[in-house]
C-alpha cells in the first residue's frame, strides 16, 4: 500500500473532475457488504459528512455505515 501515491492520484482525479461531492467507502477481502464511511481522518482533523447516509444507501440492500474510518486507504 502506497499512501502517498494513493493521495496524489485521488487529488489529481478530484481536480480533473471537480465533483459536487465525494463518498468514501471501505471494503476488505473478508467483507461481504459495502461500508460507507461517515467521517475521514485528515491529519489531526476528523472530517464528518453532513449527508444522510442511511437515505443515500438504503436501496443498495447490503451495507453498513461505519463511524471508524480506520487507518487504511479508501
pTM listed for this prediction: 0.57
**Does residue 74 register a pLDDT over 60?**
no
Number of domains in the chain: 1
- Asked, for residue 4, whether it belongs to a domain, the answer is no
Task: Please write the tens of the pLDDT for every residue from 5-55.
Answer: 888 999 999 999 999 988 766 667 788 888 888 988 888 888 898 989 999
- Asked, for residue 54, whether it belongs to a domain, the answer is yes
Range of the domain at 48: 20-66
- How far is 48 from 35, CA to CA, in rounded Å? 15
Other Cβ atoms within 10 Å of 35 Cβ, number: 19
- Asked, for residue 31, whether it belongs to a domain, the answer is yes
- Asked, for residue 7, whether it belongs to a domain, the answer is no
- Asked, for residue 59, whether it belongs to a domain, the answer is yes
Amino acid at each position: 500500500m502506497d499512501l502517498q501515491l494513493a493521495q496524489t492520484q485521488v487529488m489529481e482525479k478530484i481536480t480533473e473532475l471537480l465533483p459536487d461531492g465525494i463518498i468514501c467507502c471501505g471494503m476488505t477481502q473478508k467483507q461481504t457488504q459495502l461500508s460507507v464511511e461517515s467521517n475521514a481522518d485528515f491529519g489531526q482533523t476528523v472530517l464528518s459528512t453532513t449527508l444522510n447516509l442511511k437515505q443515500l444507501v438504503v436501496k443498495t440492500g447490503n451495507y453498513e455505515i461505519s463511524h471508524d474510518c480506520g487507518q487504511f486507504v479508501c
